[in-house]
Structure 1
Amino acid sequence: MLMKDKTVLITGCSRGIGRAMLEAFATHGANIYAHARVENARFLHDIQTISQKHNVEIWPVFFDATDYSAMKQAVKRIMADKRPLDALVNNAGITLNSLFQMTSEAQLRMQFEVNFFSVYLFTQYIAKLMVRNKRGSIINISSTAGEDGNPGKSAYGSSKAALIAMTKSVAAELGETGIRANCIAPGITDTDMLLTMSEQVVETAKAGADLRRAGSPNEIAEAALFLASDLSSYITGQVIRVDGGA
């Protein structure tokens, strides 16, 4: 098992790619801090089921990405546990499909608030834990929209591009402490986010991939598992595209 007896923190675990990551990391023996935006019975039952199935510890963590006070309280709780943290996966995020001329200031600010500012600050807090232990892997979930400039993705893509730039700087600054930082840039992936896109846009995206299909959440989760594990011990500051050859 790739993550046996290691501890991982994953944000946005309640569904989609985050839920797939939860299962993948637990399958490989990781103990997990599993973040969700709000506490609910379904999520608590889900993590209990996965915990028992794979014989690992899973601790729920709740906060809204825009509530920095709640975020700090969650970090304090994690620090109080005094467990060495081996990997952080910043998966939580929101999407927006809006033409450049039609995107409001409020929409633009919310994209950056959730997809970039909250990730930046949260990573600052968690990196302090990793620096103490002189090891750790930070994995940020960006998007191919952060590199490709897709129509209708100016705000979303810009927030994800900022995440890529941050990741490369973090890798350069923290590398000497034994901490690695990388991005995963998924292409079109079969999650609830597809529901925000028209059928024509989805089919065009699939046709534009060499594999002629959307990716699955499990395929993104496996890339994160690789970057968190010792198999990628000499990989840092990179953007790994998981896009079917788009």
Structure 2
Amino acid sequence: MAKDQYLAGKLAIVTGAGKPNGIGAAAAYALAEHGANIVIHYGKSSAAAAETVKKIETLGVKAVAISVDQESETFGQDLIQASLKAFNTETIDIIINNAAVGTFYPDIESIPIKDFDWMFRTNVRGPLLLVQAAIPYLASRGGRIVNIGTILARSGSLPGSVYSATKAALGTIALGWGEQLGPKGITVNTVVPGPIETDNIFPEDHPMTQKFRSEQHIKRNGTPMEVAETILFLASPMTAYVTGQQVYVDGGLIYP
């Protein structure tokens, strides 16, 4: 069945969307199903990004893959200018800040400062640079920014404490973005996934997965597309009066 093309003609940039099984690729596909043209930002795997582009183009929209280092100080300007050039436009409608890096440690003492800086540089500074560069081109009365957080920022995780902190910071900084951009009709929201089935990050036998199961109403991993549908909703015209929100896609986790 043909989908309603309420995003027809709009341009969406989805960072970290190169992996076909990831949340970013699923979000890109969901946006494209409703007519959006897509920039697939990726880091290193050009073959995987090309596969994602090919799948999206079967929907009859235009998609391009652009590789820019999110750690770079020129990340935002480089990605925005490459996107505008690729689509011969001066307007960007949707930004999905999905790309992130992370690693886990057994205890506080084992966290290297270089890794701390790497995660904050990529996961917090990168999205900030992208939004800063995009502001002159963001469509007024309909621009959408959606950040991707993590349930670990709320449920707690010693091994993932730094990664979780970056995602918490991104969610908080977005509140300030919404304050500035709201009067222009641009919304800023955060989607917070729980355990999602992406490349076995949350296998059933993992202790963290078992902890989630004991605290969930819906006792299973979610799918990338279930997260993507929430991203789509927040990127759509239906949410013009929704901003500054964190929307949890976590199976109804109960928190302390």
CA distance in 2, matches of 1:233, 1:12: 25
Q: Give unmatched runs, 5+ long, in structure 1.
A: none
1:12 matches 2:49: no
Counterpart for residue 67 of structure 2: 62
Whether the aligned pair in 2 keeps the contact of 1:194 and 1:202 (CA below 8 Å) is no
Counterpart for residue 184 of structure 2: 177
Match of 1:88 among 71, 95, 104: 95
Q: How does 1:1-246 map to 2 (within 5 A)?
A: 1=4, 2-15=6-19, 16-38=22-44, 40-51=46-57, 53-69=58-74, 71-80=76-85, 81-98=88-105, 99-130=107-138, 133-192=140-199, 194=201, 199-246=206-253
SS in 1 for 2:226: helix
CA shift for structure 1 position 148: 3.2
CA shift for structure 1 position 159: 0.6
Structure number having the greater helix percentage: 1
Matched residue count: 244
Counterpart of 2:244, as a letter, is: G
CA shift for structure 1 position 196: 9.3
TM score, norm. by length of structure 2: 0.87
CA distance in 2, matches of 1:79, 1:56: 16
Root mean square deviation, CA, Å: 2.1
Whether the aligned pair in 2 keeps the contact of 1:97 and 1:197 (CA below 8 Å) is no
Q: Give unmatched runs, 5+ long, in structure 2.
A: none
Counterpart of 1:33, as a letter, is: V
CA distance in 1, matches of 2:243, 2:14: 19
TM score, norm. by length of structure 1: 0.91
Percent identical among aligned pairs is 27
Counterpart of 2:93, as a letter, is: D
Whether the aligned pair in 1 keeps the contact of 2:75 and 2:129 (CA below 8 Å) is no
